[in-house]
């Protein structure tokens, strides 16, 4: 089943793509750099060309971590090393800046300007805080919101950073009204921040140990982006209190599709995907039992296609990526990708899926085999991939 309601309008522009690659020096070895301006190749990119690019954290076979930028054929155009394992990448509204966050409980945040002759800016979390791996930009791109752990108070916060000046400044923080916040989105109108409070308490002194599985209470909150006021807070039924609400994507209607990770018994198969909106009750989404039983109750990332009418939810422990129809909330099908987790929209009807075995796969139809576009040797793509450019 094609992953869109109407015929695919995939952007195929062979000629411009070719000239783009020419400008980049073709598929020559990607520029490896650390701490220097992002690949020279990207500097010569013609802004008029609407070639989609993708950014993802990776681990290399030599044990090093970084962020890679790939094109829609899965070729690595640029890479930058990170001081530790990364996680999510946020993209500014004008797609000129990227923010890469440390995986929890890491404390680095790197801001990249891939198309400028600019050094990456490395920030460290405030004392008493660490990052959770996700963030987002404000509508105008002046502010960056980073989800953080106030670990001594076991309280989630959103760090607010002003990135408009020559140096980024942390100018405040907002309460997430929950524990273990993970993913964060900005509403389509830019006025509301949506935060998934995973509900799991952790403390850096205890590494990644989960400290409150018996009492955890995940939620999705809607915050006023202007002042942090709590506009709405939605939880799930008490029977689902161990379903950690973690990753999200907005559909075309502005509702947040949230993928969960169930901390209870593996013998249970609770619903893992829920749709939240500010003023309505959460809606659980159902998938066929035969699919649910293969996922080990774990959704790794959630992404919408370009039109926001198809949602993809990856389940790396089950080696499956699931697709959902936004209009009627139904399950569209699943695609087998071993250790696949990062998912980014290519266009209206297709997704790029990255996996831990280095593969980058093109999926446009849940019933056709995924097309493996590339597998850069030595790369393990980490949990998330973001589209930009």
Partner 1 sequence: MRRLVIAAIAVCFSYPAASEEFNPPLEHFIADYVRPAVAEFSQSSAKLPDAVSAICAEEKKATISGFYEAFTETVRDFSRIHFLRFGPLVEDDRLSRLAFMPDPRGTGMRQIRKIYAAQDPAVLSPESLRDKSVAVQGLTALQLIAFNKYGEVVLGSSDETRDFDCGYATAIARNVASIAAKLETEWADPKGYSAVLLSAGPDNERFRTSKEALESVFNALVTGVIIMRDQDILPALGSSAEKAKPRRFPFSRSRNAIIYLSGELSGIRDAVNSMNLKPLMSESDRWVLDTLGFEFKNAQSYLDKLTPPLRLNFGKDGSYNLTAALAVTLNAIRDMMAQEVAGALKLAGGFNALDGD
User: What residues make contact with partner 1 under the rule CB under 8 A?
Assistant: 18, 25-29, 59-63, 73, 75, 87, 103-104, 133, 182, 208, 246, 261, 296, 298, 300, 316-317, 319, 338-341, 355-359, 367-378, 380-383
Report how far residue 48's alpha carbon sits from residue 162's, in angstroms, rounded to the nearest whole number: 28
Of 192 and 314, which CB lies nearer to partner 1 in the complex structure?
A: 314
Of 168 and 296, which CB lies nearer to partner 1 in the complex structure?
A: 296
Least Å distance between CB 57 and partner 1? 11
Report how far residue 67's alpha carbon sits from residue 88's, in angstroms, rounded to the nearest whole number: 10
Of 247 and 255, which CB lies nearer to partner 1 in the complex structure?
A: 247
Of 308 and 376, which CB lies nearer to partner 1 in the complex structure?
A: 376
Q: What are the distances in angstroms from CA 231 to CA 29, 84, 194, 227?
A: 49, 35, 10, 11
Of 356 and 389, which CB lies nearer to partner 1 in the complex structure?
A: 356
Least Å distance between CB 142 and partner 1? 28
Least Å distance between CB 10 and partner 1? 13
Of 59 and 285, which CB lies nearer to partner 1 in the complex structure?
A: 59
Whether 313 and 324 have beta carbons less than 8 Å apart is answered as yes
- The DSSP symbol for 348 reads S
Comparing CA positions, the residue from 308, 292, 204, 160 lying closest to residue 248 is 308
Least Å distance between CB 385 and partner 1? 11
Least Å distance between CB 30 and partner 1? 8
Report how far residue 130's alpha carbon sits from residue 133's, in angstroms, rounded to the nearest whole number: 9
Report how far residue 240's alpha carbon sits from residue 233's, in angstroms, rounded to the nearest whole number: 16
Least Å distance between CB 8 and partner 1? 16
Of 31 and 192, which CB lies nearer to partner 1 in the complex structure?
A: 31
Least Å distance between CB 144 and partner 1? 20
Helix (H, G, I), strand (E, B) or coil at 192: strand
Least Å distance between CB 377 and partner 1? 4
Of 193 and 366, which CB lies nearer to partner 1 in the complex structure?
A: 366
User: DSSP states of 40-71 as a string?
Assistant: HHHHT--TT----EEEEEEEETTS-EEEEEEE
Helix (H, G, I), strand (E, B) or coil at 23: helix
Q: Using only the alpha carbons of the chain, give its radius of gyration.
A: 20
Beta pairing, strands 320-325 & 331-336: antiparallel
Q: Kind and range of the H or E element at 211?
A: none
Comparing CA positions, the residue from 386, 318, 316 lying closest to residue 357 is 316
């Amino acid at each position: 089943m094609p992953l869109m309601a109407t015929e695919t309008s995939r952007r195929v522009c062979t000629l411009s793509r070719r000239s783009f690659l020419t400008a980049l020096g073709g598929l020559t070895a990607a520029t490896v750099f650390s701490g220097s301006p992002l690949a020279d190749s990207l500097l010569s990119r013609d802004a008029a060309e609407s070639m989609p690019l993708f950014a993802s954290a990776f681990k290399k076979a030599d044990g090093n971590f970084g962020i890679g930028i790939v094109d829609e054929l899965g070729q690595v155009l640029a890479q930058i090393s990170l001081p530790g394992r990364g996680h999510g990448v946020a993209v500014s509204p004008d797609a000129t800046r990227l923010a890469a966050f440390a995986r929890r409980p890491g404390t680095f945040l790197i801001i990249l300007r891939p198309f400028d002759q600019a050094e990456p800016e490395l920030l460290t979390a405030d004392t008493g805080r660490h990052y959770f791996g996700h963030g987002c930009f404000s509508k105008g791109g002046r502010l960056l919101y980073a989800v953080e752990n106030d670990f001594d108070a076991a309280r989630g916060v959103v760090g607010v950073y002003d990135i408009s000046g020559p140096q980024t400044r942390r100018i405040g923080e907002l309460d997430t009204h929950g524990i273990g916040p993970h993913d964060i989105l900005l509403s389509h109108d830019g006025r509301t921040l949506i935060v998934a409070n995973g509900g799991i308490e952790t403390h850096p002194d205890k590494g990644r140990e989960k400290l409150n599985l018996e009492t955890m209470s995940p939620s999705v909150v809607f915050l006023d982006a202007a002042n942090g006021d709590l506009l709405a807070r939605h939880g799930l039924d008490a029977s689902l209190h161990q379903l950690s609400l973690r990753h999200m994507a907005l559909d075309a209607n502005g509702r947040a599709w949230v993928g969960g990770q169930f901390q209870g018994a593996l013998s249970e198969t609770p619903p893992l995907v829920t749709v939240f909106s500010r003023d309505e009750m959460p809606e659980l989404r159902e998938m066929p039992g035969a699919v649910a039983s293969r996922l080990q109750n774990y959704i790794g990332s959630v992404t919408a296609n370009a039109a926001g009418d198809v949602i993809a939810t990856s389940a790396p422990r089950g080696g499956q990526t699931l697709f959902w129809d936004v209009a009627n909330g139904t399950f569209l099908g699943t695609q087998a990708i071993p250790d696949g987790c990062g998912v980014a929209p290519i266009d209206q009807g297709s997704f790029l899926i990255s996996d831990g075995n280095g593969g980058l796969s093109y999926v446009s139809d849940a019933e056709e085999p995924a097309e493996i576009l590339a597998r850069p040797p030595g790369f393990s793509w980490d949990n998330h991939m973001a589209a930009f450019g």
